[in-house]
A and B are shown apart, each in its own frame.
Chain A
Amino acid sequence: MSRRPLVNALLVVAVVALFAVPLLLDGGTSEYGGTDAAVTADLEADGHTPWFESVFSPAGEVESGLFALQAAIGGGVLGYVLGRLRGRRLAQEKPGPGSPAP
């Protein structure tokens, strides 16, 4: 059992390293602009213009706030579900070993 948390922690470290290492090695020379925007810029450079505008275009801070909101909703729901499932398992383990739900 004690190996499980260790492997989980190593997985987290691996994911963080996967994105942190390129940032560090890069030395701050890259812009890290979005690929979506890169394609849009490319198309506009070729003379293509959008024929329909977004119904609502949040600017600057509002946009980052809404992105944070999206992540918060997702993270909140995910955390709630995992917490409930874990609580259920712990409650089932208490009364006696074995006897999983039918």
Chain B
Amino acid sequence: MHIAEGFLPASHAVGWTVAAAPFVVHGARAVVKEVRENPESTLLLGAAGAFVFVLSAIKLPSVTGSSSHPTGTGVGAILFRPPVMALLGTVVLLFQALLLAHGGLTTLGANAFAFAVVGPWAGYGAYRLIRAFGGGLLPGVFAGMVLADLTTYVTTSLQLALAFPDASSGLAGAAAKFLGIFAVTQIPLAIGEGLLGVLLFRVLTVNARPELERLGLLQPAPTTTAGDAA
């Protein structure tokens, strides 16, 4: 989902940076607040950041014959709400822009908007929707992870279409072209990411039950013995 360094016209680069900056600043505040008020959250915050770090480093083959990487931003968005991911996701993008020449500093704003803002919010929205309709934690996690991943790539495609509308077919044609490259490849990856998220939360429901209850993901149950979460 990285838009490569220097490709976005300067006006777009500035525009997306201005759009993403408040989210990242708010996210930094959210992280500091969470750590200060709930120091025991630090471990899970680290896990959420680490999950994004691993997944965004792994380039996976897709059925379309090209490869791409998952995002992993759904975990933190579901655990700690999306603002936290605006910071953590941007840190990952910065690492990749500075050390790996993936993405870039001029495109950091646009990439952060897709990866660290839109994805986490969309994933969180899907999760909340499933829960509101009585769905369980794990179906909610699956939907949240898949949507966070897919919407990131859809956003990147639309950003590119805005910057490079097709000469003949305009914005819609360009959007279709970029979605064809990004979004189609991403569908199996998003499903795989959803399954990985379910696996992670299955482990967490057993081992981090107090945290999940405090964060409101699980109902406090009058447990007699630990284990066997629904």
Contacts and interface: CB of A to CB of B under 8 A. Distances in A.
B226 interface: yes
A36 B47 contact: no
Contact of B181 (A42, A67, A81): A42
Nearest to B42: A81
Given A32-B65, A78-B54, A85 B46 contact: no
Contacts of B106: 51-52
Contacts of B224: 97-98
Interface stretch (B27-35, B127-135, B193-201): B193-201
B73 to A, nearest CB: 13
Contacts of B51: 74, 78
Contacts of A80: 46
Residue of B3, B6, B98 with most partner-chain A CB within 10 A:
B6
Interface in B57-87: 57-63, 65-68
Interface residues of B, number: 71
A14 B42 CA distance: 31
Contact of A36 (B44, B46, B54, B102): B102
A87 B177 CA distance: 50
B6 A51 contact: yes
Interface string A45-73: 01010111111111000010011101101
B46 A77 contact: yes
B47 A82 contact: yes
Given A4-B206, A22-B61, A70-B57, A35 B66 contact: yes
B52 A74 contact: yes
A77 B53 CA distance: 10
Contact of A101 (B185, B191, B210, B227): B210
A59 B116 CA distance: 27
B50 A58 contact: no
Given A43-B164, A51-B10, A74-B57, A35 B185 contact: yes
Interface string A2-16: 001001100110110
30 contacts: A4-B202, A4-B206, A15-B196, A15-B199, A19-B60, A32-B61, A33-B67, A36-B1, A36-B2, A39-B160, A40-B4, A43-B7, A48-B164, A50-B5, A52-B6, A53-B5, A54-B5, A58-B100, A67-B100, A68-B57, A70-B54, A70-B57, A70-B96, A77-B46, A81-B43, A81-B50, A86-B207, A88-B207, A98-B223, A101-B210
Given A56-B101, A70-B57, A82-B47, 7 more contacts: A4-B206, A8-B199, A8-B203, A22-B62, A36-B4, A48-B164, A66-B100
**Top 5 A-B pairs, shortest CB-CB distance:** A50-B6, A74-B53, A74-B54, A30-B65, A52-B6
Interface of B: 1-7, 10, 43-44, 46-47, 49-63, 65-68, 95-102, 104-106, 160, 164, 177-178, 181-182, 185-186, 188, 191-192, 195-196, 198-199, 202-204, 206-210, 223-228
